[in-house]
Amino acid sequence: MILTLLILIPLVAGILSFLAKENGKMIALLSSVATLGVAIATSVHAGTQTISWSIPWIPRLGAQLSFYADGMSAMLCLLTAIVMPVIFITNWNKTVDRAGSFYGLMLLSQAGITGVFLAHDALLFYFFWELALIPVYFLCSSWGGEKRVAVTFKFFVYTFLGSLMMLAALIFLSSQNPGVNAYSWENIVSAGASLDPVTQQWVFVLIFVAFAIKMPIFPFHTWQPDTYEQSPTPITIILSALMVKMGLYGVIRWLIPVAPEGVALWSNTIVVLSIIGIVYASCIAIVQTDLKRLVAYSSIAHMGLMAAAAFSQTKVGMHGLMVQMFNHGINITGMWLIVSMVEQRWGTRDMTKLGGMASTAPKMAIALVIISLANIALPLTNGFIGEFMLFNGLFSSASQYHIIFMVVAGIGIILGAVYTLNMIQKTAYGDAVEMTVSKDITTNEFVGLTIIIGIILILGVYPKPLLDMTLGVVNMMIP
């Protein structure tokens, strides 16, 4: 029951927000804080035991409304529930046109994303997968930059095509074992795992395309930098901190157990693609002068490392992946918040026109430095432990090329340090550039950043709660 609340609160609040017009902001904040409370309660429970809830939905097909939370689902719900109020708090002072629709759509996308993390039924999973996409489509197209309509549509068609391929695989799997639970996760997994290797490969490819586009893995990433750049910051945060996790979550829950033979056959190829993605995205990030594009490419690089670890099939790598999914969500949210503050203060995102933040806005500069360092995984920040485990996993994987993988991915990390430090240097130091709106961080921005930085530091020093929470899932995934 507690799981349905996680979805129902944002859903109902979203609909109310449409009707409330200008007061949508208030509804959004209150409901997201309430959801956060529920999510914390869920996480506390799910750390020790799984929670599930289900009722029949379409008996003719064997689909059920079935929600399930283990450590991983609860952790990602918690991430969603933390990020949303942070967005609302930091966005509080900005005036948004048609605020009711804006906040309504934000909340609906929250409901969709949470649903994806909780659904334990393939059809329901697909429903939420699309339900998360549609509000984001409208958000980006209505409130984005100049080229928003074309860019968002490209994003939409790309992801929609991917989801349809996944749908083909899900229809196929569910028709293998028809019955009252045809769509339940257990049934899909057993149907998939019992197929012959050739068919499993097909199933693997169809499902993988959907998740690869969403993550995105090189070469499916072309929608991403443009979409991130054109979207308003709150949506960029939803896209990069949360929706990208849907892809990874999908891989872990709905791909690896479903087509183990397919994974075995394809994993080297995918790890290679992911590592190409890391190096490629890092190289492009180095030459970017636009802050938003820089962060977008850095996000592709980070996702590449996580995807590589997901397919390297080691216990420590998988555990690192769980932790890093959470941490990446927090860090990237912090990065986008800073970028949007910079854009608001200086009226530009071009790094060549920025400088001297440390003297003009010292508090913001401190936040920028801490979050950027977390982003390159410096020890004592949350990024370190996750990335360390990911590398460890990549190195100890069974693949014969594991050393090459590790070394090349390591180059990506060095490149990551290059562009991040370069960015800090260009924006925070150097000759001071006058702000157009002369103000260091405001109270609400301070609250938002404090939450983010607090999590970064606490988990950097004491990651145990997160590790404990996800240990059960890792043990189940890789015995």
Contact 162, 251 (CB under 8 A): no
Structure tokens at 185: 């996760």
149 lines the binding site for other proteins (CB under 8 A): yes
CB of 192 to other proteins, least distance (A): 14
Residue of the chain from 44, 171, 458, 461 that contacts other proteins (CB under 8 A):
171
Instruction: Give the range of 168-176, 212-220, 233-241, 439-447 binding other proteins by CB under 8 A.
Output: 168-176
Angstrom distance (rounded) from CA 312 to CA 290? 33
Unique residue bearing structure tokens 């440390």: 358
96 lines the binding site for other proteins (CB under 8 A): no
Contact 25, 103 (CB under 8 A): yes
Residue of the chain from 103, 138, 208, 266 that contacts other proteins (CB under 8 A):
138
Site string for other proteins, 203-242 (x = CB under 8 A): ---x------------------------------------
64 lines the binding site for other proteins (CB under 8 A): no
54 lines the binding site for other proteins (CB under 8 A): no
165 lines the binding site for other proteins (CB under 8 A): yes
Residue of the chain from 155, 156, 220, 326 that contacts other proteins (CB under 8 A):
156
Alpha carbon 52 to chain centroid, angstroms? 23
With respect to other proteins, which residue has the nearer C-beta, 206 or 452?
206
Instruction: Give the range of 85-93, 170-178, 310-318, 378-386 binding other proteins by CB under 8 A.
Output: 170-178
How many CA atoms are closer than 13 Å to the CA of 457, on its beta-carbon side?
8
411 lines the binding site for other proteins (CB under 8 A): no
Which residues, in sequence order, are CB contacts of 407 under 8 Å at separation 6+? none
Exposure string over 234-262, b if 16+ CB within 10 A, otherwise e: bbbbbbbbbbbbbbbbbbbbbbbbbbbbb
Residue of the chain from 164, 265, 433, 457 that contacts other proteins (CB under 8 A):
164
With respect to other proteins, which residue has the nearer C-beta, 133 or 294?
133
Residue of the chain from 92, 153, 388, 429 that contacts other proteins (CB under 8 A):
153
- Judged by CB under 8 A, the number of residues near other proteins is 28
CB of 149 to other proteins, least distance (A): 5
Contact 410, 391 (CB under 8 A): yes
User: Could you tell me which of 236, 227, 225 has the C-alpha nearest to residue 83?
Assistant: 236
CB of 138 to other proteins, least distance (A): 7
Which residues, in sequence order, are CB contacts of 71 under 8 Å at separation 6+? 46, 47, 322, 469, 470, 471, 472, 473
Mapping DSSP to helix (H, G, I), strand (E, B) and coil, where does residue 68 land? Answer: strand
8 lines the binding site for other proteins (CB under 8 A): no
Which residues, in sequence order, are CB contacts of 326 under 8 Å at separation 6+? 75, 76, 78, 79, 459, 466
Bridging pattern class, strands 63-69 and 51-58: antiparallel
Contact 258, 192 (CB under 8 A): yes
Instruction: Give the range of 166-174, 256-264, 294-302, 408-416 binding other proteins by CB under 8 A.
Output: 166-174
CB of 229 to other proteins, least distance (A): 17
Residue of the chain from 16, 167, 371, 449 that contacts other proteins (CB under 8 A):
167
With respect to other proteins, which residue has the nearer C-beta, 227 or 392?
227
Angstrom distance (rounded) from CA 55 to CA 67? 9
Structure tokens at 341: 């503050």
Helix (H) or strand (E) holding 117: helix 99-118
194 lines the binding site for other proteins (CB under 8 A): no
Which residue type occupies 236?
T
Structure tokens at 220: 């499916």
Mapping DSSP to helix (H, G, I), strand (E, B) and coil, where does residue 434 land? Answer: coil
CB of 148 to other proteins, least distance (A): 8
With respect to other proteins, which residue has the nearer C-beta, 163 or 312?
163
With respect to other proteins, which residue has the nearer C-beta, 16 or 424?
16
With respect to other proteins, which residue has the nearer C-beta, 178 or 362?
178
CB of 178 to other proteins, least distance (A): 8
Contact 77, 110 (CB under 8 A): no
461 lines the binding site for other proteins (CB under 8 A): no
Site string for other proteins, 262-301 (x = CB under 8 A): ----------------------------------------
- Three-class SS of 331-379: HHHHHHHHHHHHHHHHCCCEHHHCCCHHHHCHHHHHHHHHHHHHHCCCC
CA distances from 396 to 222, 274, 389, 402, 414 (A): 31, 17, 10, 7, 21
Q: Residues 335, 473, 267, 120: is their CA dihedral positive or negative?
A: negative
With respect to other proteins, which residue has the nearer C-beta, 135 or 393?
135
Residue of the chain from 52, 175, 269, 443 that contacts other proteins (CB under 8 A):
175
103 lines the binding site for other proteins (CB under 8 A): no
Residue of the chain from 59, 352, 438, 479 that contacts other proteins (CB under 8 A):
59
Per CB under 8 A, residues contacting other proteins are 58-61, 126-127, 130-131, 134, 138, 141-142, 148-149, 153, 156-157, 160-161, 164-165, 167-168, 171-172, 174-175, 206
